[in-house]
Amino acid sequence: MRHLIATAILALATVGGAGVPAAADTADSDTIGSTAIEDIVAAELPASLAPGVSYAVVRGGELAESGGQGVARKGTDTPVTADTPFLIGSISKSFTALAVMQLVEAGDVDLDAPGGDYVEALAGTPAGAPTVRELLSHTSGFSTLQGNTAHGDRSGGEDDLANAVSGLADVTPAYEPGTRWEYSNTNYQVLGRLIEEVIGTSYQAYVTEHILEPVGMTASTVADGAVHLEMATGHTPWFWTKRPLGETPTDRATAPQGGIIASAHDLSLYLGMMMNGEDDVLSAAGKAQMMRPASAVSPFYGFGWYVNGEGTVGHSGAVPGVETQATMAPGGNDAVVVLVNGGSGIGFGETTQLRYAVTAAALDLDYAGEGSRWGQKALFLGLALAPVLYLLAMAWAWAKRDKVRAKTSGAAGLFSLWFPVLTTAAAAWVLLWLVPGFMGAPLSTVRIFQPDMALIMTATAVGGVVWALFRIVIAYTGPRPANRLRSTV
């Protein structure tokens, strides 16, 4: 049982990536900061199993280096470059936070007013009670699980975001607002709708006009319900490879939390703007406020940015088949962005070391790598083998059916027959409901980000119950043996 729980926890801990601080981990071992970034990418990209990676490095506020390796879609020869657009995931939250801060500085929004004051559908509801400040800093009380649960239908129309937020009217935050920090996409969905209602235009139109265009992000756009063929294709893990996703429309409802589409080059301009200390799309004071801890309840998150102890500020992002990372060292006006068109598996084909190694090299941070990951690999393999073992056990039970039927006489035999029904049912509940809920990612979300993991979790859960019930069926059907044997089959 502990084996199954540990495997599921490892799987769900990697889903989404949105809540993982973007700065590279540091260690007191040999640094790789002096290694050329192109060489690092060439060494790490094959191990990640991702088809391609794009990066850009800012030093002293100016673009110093950029490039890409690999292809935009597996099976094609379209190269990934610094100008290839990616769906950047939760780095998008910083754009939403910046837009809100623009409205704050314009006097249209009060940071300490309830979100329901600006979002009509949430007025007077528990979901509308958290303040704008609490929504920006993930201290609203909405949980990670609530943030990963869809509300409202998706039609691809302009009202998708409005419908999604309206669906929150009957949702009560999991915790009292302002009492604890917990990352939740719901916060930024509400903020996206707030922007729309305050300005009277779409989130897409506002961000394009007030952020993308002024910063000069000419290769960037916002998820608008359309298919964007120019984007790098996402690739999700499928056992020991990665599979390309189909050409699907972007999602307007999740645009404020993860729907900015940008190239590494464009993001270098954006990060440079955040660090320049100038009054431009936002005042210098407003930018600084975004990049420092929001409150005592949020000591490592500002407004749309993680605040790390090494003097870095950043955010990671994950959408199905794509993982991204943006990190700034504002003290030196240095920054780096890494965009990978491959989602991480469990132990196999992880992109973490690729992203962190490039980040460490660009910002001259110590980084010792992620290690062998053999523990994660062994757990994944163990769970993948479990359904096969259950099938073999069923074949064995059928071959020894006389002995199985003999178990119906005597307390010990009955216990050995019925107890596995209880344990396998409990394991199925843990794998399919308890652990996903505990980690804040429903199984449906795991299935989108890590389809191989979702498959083997489901197969193991179902296989265990079927095996246990199969033994019961054998025991109580068919001819009884003349001599009731006792066994521990």
pLDDT digits (tens, 9 = 90+) for 134-171: 999 999 999 999 998 877 667 778 899 999 999 999 99
369 occurs within a structural domain: no
Is 333 in the same domain as 469?
no
| 359 and 430 housed in the same domain | no
| Residue 484, in any domain of the structure | no
CATH number at residue 45: 3.40.710.10
Of 22-31, 58-67, 361-370, where does mean pLDDT reach its minimum? 22-31
Are the C-beta atoms of 449 and 236 separated by less than 8 Å? yes
| Same-domain status, 332 and 390 | no
pLDDT confidence of residue 20: 30
What is the model's pLDDT at position 214? 98
Residue 301 DSSP class: B
Q: Residue 481 domain-assigned?
A: no
pLDDT tens for 373-395 read 888 899 899 999 999 999 999 99
Residue 27 confidence (pLDDT): 36
Coil vs helix vs strand at 298: strand
Identify the domain boundary among 363, 392, 413: 363
Do 119 and 256 belong together in one domain? yes
* pLDDT for 399 beyond 60: yes
Q: Do 260 and 222 meet the contact criterion of CB atoms below 8 Å apart?
A: yes
- Higher pLDDT: 286 or 35? It is 286
In this prediction, residue 329 has a pLDDT band, given cuts at 50, 70 and 90, of: very high
CA 211 – CA 197 distance, rounded (Å): 18
> Are residues 341 and 453 both part of a single domain?
no
Span 342-363, pLDDT tens digits: 999 989 999 999 999 999 999 9
Any domain includes 58: yes
Which has the closest alpha carbon to 445: 315, 320, 349? 320
Domain assignment of residue 182, yes or no:
yes
Whether residue 163 sits in one domain with residue 73: yes
Report, as an integer, the average pLDDT of 402-406.
92
- Which 3 state secondary structure label does DSSP give 138? coil
Give me the amino acid identity at 6: A
Could you tell me if 138 and 269 lie in one domain?
yes
Asked if the structure places residue 18 within a domain, the reply is: no
Domain residue limits at 464: 374-476
> CA 327, CA 14: separation in Å to the nearest integer?
19
Per-residue pLDDT reduced to its tens digit, 430-488: 999 887 776 677 888 889 999 999 999 999 999 999 999 999 999 999 776 655 444 44
Q: What pLDDT does 33 receive?
A: 42
Q: Which of 363, 398, 425 is the last residue of a domain?
A: 363
Q: In terms of domains, do 149 and 217 share one? A: yes
pLDDT tens column, 182-203? 999 999 999 999 999 999 999 9
Q: Is residue 8 part of a domain?
A: no
Boundary of a domain, candidates 363, 388, 407: 363
* Residue 224 placed within a domain: yes
CA distance 295 to 181: 10
Task: Tell which residue, 324, 326, 286, 276, has the closest CA to residue 305.
Answer: 326
Average pLDDT of the residues in 10-35: 38
Number of domains within the chain: 2
Q: Based on the domain organization, do 414 and 337 belong to the same domain?
A: no
Are 336 and 381 within one domain?
Answer: no
pLDDT at position 297 over 90: yes
69 touches 342 (CB < 8 A): no
